[in-house]
A = this chain, B = another copy of it.
Amino acid sequence: MGTVTDDKECSTFLVRHAWLSMRGVVAEALGEHGLSVAQFASLLILDEHPGASVADVARRVSTARQSANEMLGGLERAGLIERRPHPQDRRSQQIFLTGTGRGRLDAARPAVKAVEARLSEGFTPDELAVVNAWLSRMAAATAGTPEELPTL
């Protein structure tokens, strides 16, 4: 009846299909490293922002504090991260990558970069820059409330 996408109408749904597809590909690559896509995203953030709080992570991955906390719990049980009480702010806790966590991340990162590079094969750097600019613009367009709504 047609291919995967007949989003003649809305770029929004084309972006959704792209996300779903890329998530699938990345997940497959991450599976061999024992990581989920969400876990990988969190490890990336914690690598770049050591000592971030649960709320920080939640904001950066655009998810609810609760969800982030649950998933960080998984990472903690797996020994990939550790939580320490914040020295100044007694409400929050700082989260750090453990040695094994960093190792796992450094092992997985090249795999993800590889599949992403393979996906973008054939596009020139200029074109990719345009794509990046457009996606950034879209991501910045967040309408008022950043948190709402089901998946589709």
Chain A interface (Cβ < 8 Å from any Cβ of B): 1, 3-6, 8-28, 36-38, 41, 44-45, 48-49, 56, 60-63, 67, 109, 112-113, 116, 119-120, 123, 127-128, 130-132, 134-146, 148-152
Contact = CB atoms under 8 A, between A and B. Distances in A.
Given A11-B135, A61-B152, A119-B141, 4 more contacts: A6-B60, A11-B120, A22-B138, A130-B130
Contacts of A11: 22, 116, 120, 131-132, 135
Given A116-B12, A148-B24, A62 B139 contact: no
A116 B10 contact: yes
Contact of A131 (B10, B134, B141): B134
Contacts of A123: 130, 134, 137
